[in-house]
């Protein structure tokens, strides 16, 4: 039997993180060895509770949840209620009690380090689907982890410039003034996870030994992966029984809420992009989800700019391009892997497979 890939999942559990947890918890090739939580889609208190509830719903109360950082390195916390609701899991009619153990007494960064180093060298992956504060602290505090792990997979960033064929919705309109394209989702320039803590992101992408082990899943890719009405219907009705299971109902409700948010706030009526599970899919062995192996890039994050304006200041001016992802192509095989294209049938087939496995173990 092929050895499973050990995975530690660092999340800010909102709606799309649920599908990352689904895949990490139930894909036959993966071994979910732990989870940590961070600020982002909701407060740390809520992302932690959400993670425990979802693990419970997935029948994985054997996996512990370690609360991590509540705010960025050197900026105030940013929480958005538009896309994920006030708790981070909007639109769900039924959730179980949070029975997956929440280890508030433990240091999440130390637990990440210990769990990853306990795996054979170059086998374990860290997957980060929220702001990168926890991950940056891990590698800064315990640099030995860099050489030990197999890789780091991140959902974050937006490149633009026709990096893929995906089209993003409207944001705050600052680029519309010069009729340029938009490619961020928090601002016209910046993706949310990177925008929340650009200094943390910069510390990771400036590390040459870590960069070559890193896969970056940007909005340019995730906006190719839309949960259309057809996809949502198949997810809801794809079980073996005539009546949808409570797990499938929960997952479909998540996507319906997400779809409404993307339509209202971004003008995307085809369906919401499903960002976070792609960061888990990126490390699946022998997978055909990604149609290329990812060109290598130097990645730089813009950290100049403020998140808030003082009285009398123009927010657009003081914010500038903070959180923007700037990439430069490399031809030497080094640098960060950034995939360009997807096999959507393979991706949704994998989600369906994991959902069927979860149905057998879930407790929603």
Segment 140-181, tens digit of pLDDT: 999 999 999 999 999 999 999 888 888 765 554 444 444 356
- Kindly indicate the confidence band of residue 258, based on its pLDDT and cuts at 50, 70 and 90: confident
Distance CA 38, CA 100 (A): 17
What pLDDT shows up at residue 85? 62
pLDDT in tens, 93-114: 788 999 999 999 999 999 999 9
Across 32-50, average pLDDT: 96
Tens-digit pLDDT profile for residues 200-256: 999 999 999 999 999 999 999 999 999 999 999 999 988 666 788 999 999 999 999
Quick check: 155 and 217 in contact, CB under 8 A? yes
CA triplet 169, 16, 341: central angle to 5 degrees?
Answer: 60
Burial class (CB in 10 A: 0-12, 13-18, 19+), 29: middle
pLDDT for res 215 = 96
- Measuring CA to CA, which residue among 68, 21, 20 is closest to residue 40? 68
The active-site residue out of 26, 84, 275, 307 is 275
For residue 168, CA distances in Å to 19, 119, 307 come to: 21, 39, 22
Q: What pLDDT score does 81 carry?
A: 55
For the stretch 293-335, pLDDT in tens is: 668 999 999 998 777 767 667 777 777 788 999 999 998 889 9
Radius of gyration of the chain (CA): 19
pLDDT of residue 149: 99
Q: What is the total residue count of the chain?
A: 364
What distance lies between CA 287 and its chain's CA centroid?
19
What's the Cα-to-Cα distance from 318 to each of 77, 193, 324, rounded to whole Å? 17, 19, 14
| Sheet of strand 65-67, all strands in order from the earlier edge strand to the far edge | 65-67, 30-37, 5-11, 125-128, 151-155, 214-217, 336-338, 295-301, 325-329
CATH number assigned to the domain comprising residue 43: 3.90.245.10
* pLDDT > 70: percent of the chain: 90
What share of the chain has pLDDT > 90, as a percent? 65
Domain that holds residue 279: 5-361
Q: From the centroid of its chain, how far is CA 127?
A: 8
Q: HSE of 317 in the Cβ direction (CA atoms, 13 Å)?
A: 6
Comparing 7 with 266, the larger pLDDT belongs to 7
**Based on the structure, what is the number of domains in the chain?**
1
Average pLDDT over the chain reads: 89
26: annotated active-site residue = no
pLDDT greater than 50 at residue 86: yes
pLDDT in tens, 338-355: 999 999 999 999 999 999
Over residues 4-28, the mean pLDDT reads 96
pLDDT greater than 90 at residue 25? yes
């Amino acid at each position: 039997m092929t050895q499973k890939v050990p995975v530690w999942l660092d999340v800010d559990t909102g709606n799309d993180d649920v599908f990352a947890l689904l895949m990490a918890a139930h894909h036959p090739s993966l071994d979910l060895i732990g989870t940590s939580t961070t600020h982002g889609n909701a407060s740390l208190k809520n992302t932690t509770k959400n993670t425990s509830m979802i693990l419970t719903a997935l029948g994985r109360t054997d996996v512990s949840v370690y609360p991590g950082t509540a705010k960025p390195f050197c900026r105030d916390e940013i929480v958005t209620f538009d896309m994920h609701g006030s708790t981070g899991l909007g639109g769900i009619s039924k959730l179980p009690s949070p029975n997956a153990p929440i280890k508030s007494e433990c240091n999440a960064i130390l637990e990440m380090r210990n769990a990853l180093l306990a795996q054979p060298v170059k086998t374990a992956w860290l997957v980060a689907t929220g702001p990168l504060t926890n991950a940056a602290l891990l590698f800064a505090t315990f640099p030995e982890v860099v050489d030990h792990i197999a890789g780091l997979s991140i959902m974050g960033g937006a490149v633009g410039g026709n990096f893929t064929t995906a089209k993003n919705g409207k944001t705050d309109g600052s680029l519309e003034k010069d009729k340029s394209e938009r490619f961020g989702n928090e601002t016209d320039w910046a993706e949310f996870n990177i925008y929340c803590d650009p200094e943390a992101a910069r510390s990771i992408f400036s590390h040459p030994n870590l960069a070559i082990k890193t896969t970056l899943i940007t909005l340019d890719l995730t906006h190719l992966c839309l949960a259309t009405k057809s996809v949502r219907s198949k997810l809801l009705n794809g079980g073996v029984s005539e009546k949808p299971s409570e797990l499938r109902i929960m997952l479909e409700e998540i996507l319906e809420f997400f779809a409404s948010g993307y339509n209202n706030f971004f003008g995307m009526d085809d369906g919401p992009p499903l960002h976070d599970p792609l960061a888990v899919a990126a490390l699946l062995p022998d997978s055909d989800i990604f149609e290329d192996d990812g060109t290598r890039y130097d990645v730089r994050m813009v950290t100049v700019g403020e998140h808030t304006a003082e009285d009398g200041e123009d927010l657009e001016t003081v914010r500038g391009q903070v959180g923007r992802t700037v990439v430069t192509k490399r031809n030497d095989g080094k640098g960060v892997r950034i995939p360009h294209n997807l096999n959507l049938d393979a991706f949704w087939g994998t989600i369906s497979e994991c959902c069927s496995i979860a149905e057998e173990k879930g407790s929603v």
